[in-house]
């Protein structure tokens, strides 16, 4: 069924109620690979609350992407097999607590028609608020619906991607993923079989299940945390990235980072296959 542009643009879903505990916070951190070294105290602060000397559990900033998993503006009636994440941009208004009751307000921002054989891009926004109605984070998500183009909507007007510097990277970090990482990360909410079912992955055009784009997004947050943020989640004001190619669980993600003032630009590659998996990455620290 083709996209109905007017109906899609009118979608909104306000006041969606969610709650999470430290269990979900730690599962997310573990799902993006933190705690691989059980003696690394900086990463243990995100995955272990049971310490001899009490300390607050830290929350990975991009946990915001799963804190209200399932929140959305409404049913979009897209070809699910052909839908992948396009971009994610989160603005952090205040640090996320390690447990909370929150609400989510979701609306559609834009719908772009790339053509019948090129798909559609849907941008939607979700604002997370605490129990007092104060904003915690604003998430802008871009979905690339590869099988839903040609509905006659606008094709121009997408925001320009962030440009990374042309100079050599200021830092390069390698972050390994586990062969079973997608099976762990899916427990954070995204049960799409593209990441767990070999048969489904093949029908979607992949030789085997791929890592969630949002897991790769979280991995890039790890990269900034360990290089320029001194593992301080409160330093993050914005984290944005564009997904350009999938990661297969077990591969090593190589991040290239550039720092200019309070802006960290980044890209991520899988060198073993010669592909760039994240483009136009931008973190604002403050």
Task: Give CA–CA dist 194/57, Å, rounded.
Answer: 32
200 exposed, middle or buried (CB, 10 Å; 0-12, 13-18, 19+)? middle
Stated pTM of the model: 0.94
Q: How confident is the model at residue 154, as a pLDDT?
A: 82
Low-confidence ranges of the chain (pLDDT < 50): none
Q: What is the pLDDT of residues 73-85, one digit of tens each?
A: 998 878 776 777 7
**Is position 162 annotated as part of the catalytic site?**
no
- Candidates 85, 110, 190, 212; catalytic one: 190
**Domains of the chain, CATH where assigned:** 1-159 (3.10.129.10), 171-285 (3.10.129.10)
- Candidates 195, 197, 212, 239; catalytic one: 195
Q: Enter the tokens of residue 81.
A: 């097999």
Q: How confident is the model at residue 172, as a pLDDT?
A: 98
Q: How confident is the model at residue 182, as a pLDDT?
A: 98
* Torsion angle defined by CA atoms of residues 243, 246, 251 and 255, in that order, rounded to the nearest 10 degrees: -10
Q: How confident is the model at residue 1, as a pLDDT?
A: 63
Task: Give CA–CA dist 62/12, Å, rounded.
Answer: 23
**Is position 195 annotated as part of the catalytic site?**
yes
């Amino acid at each position: 069924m083709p996209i109905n542009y007017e109906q899609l643009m009118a979608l909104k879903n306000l006041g969606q109620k969610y709650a999470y505990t430290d269990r979900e916070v730690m599962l997310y951190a573990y799902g993006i690979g933190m705690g691989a070294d059980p003696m690394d105290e900086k990463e243990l602060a995100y995955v272990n609350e049971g310490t001899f000397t009490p300390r607050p559990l830290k929350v990975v900033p991009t946990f915001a992407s799963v804190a209200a998993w399932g929140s959305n503006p409404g049913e979009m009636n897209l070809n699910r097999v052909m839908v992948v994440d396009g971009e994610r941009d989160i603005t952090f208004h205040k640090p996320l607590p390690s447990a909370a009751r929150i609400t989510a307000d979701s609306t559609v921002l834009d719908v772009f028609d790339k053509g019948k054989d090129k798909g559609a891009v849907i941008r939607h926004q979700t604002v997370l608020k605490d129990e007092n109605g104060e904003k915690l984070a604003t998430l802008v998500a871009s979905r690339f619906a590869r099988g839903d183009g040609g509905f006659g909507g606008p094709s121009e007007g997408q925001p320009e991607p962030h440009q990374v510097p042309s100079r050599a990277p200021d830092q390069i970090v390698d972050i390994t993923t586990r062969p079973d990482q997608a099976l762990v990360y899916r427990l954070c909410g995204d049960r799409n079989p593209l990441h767990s079912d070999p048969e489904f992955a093949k029908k979607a055009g992949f030789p085997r299940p791929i890592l969630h784009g949002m897991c790769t997004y979280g991995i890039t947050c790890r990269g900034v945390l360990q290089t320029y943020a001194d593992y301080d989640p409160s330093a993050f004001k914005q984290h944005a990235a564009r997904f350009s190619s999938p990661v297969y669980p077990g591969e090593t993600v190589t991040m290239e980072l550039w720092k200019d003032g309070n802006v960290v630009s980044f890209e991520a590659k899988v060198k073993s296959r010669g592909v760039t998996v994240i483009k136009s990455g931008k973190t604002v620290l403050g």
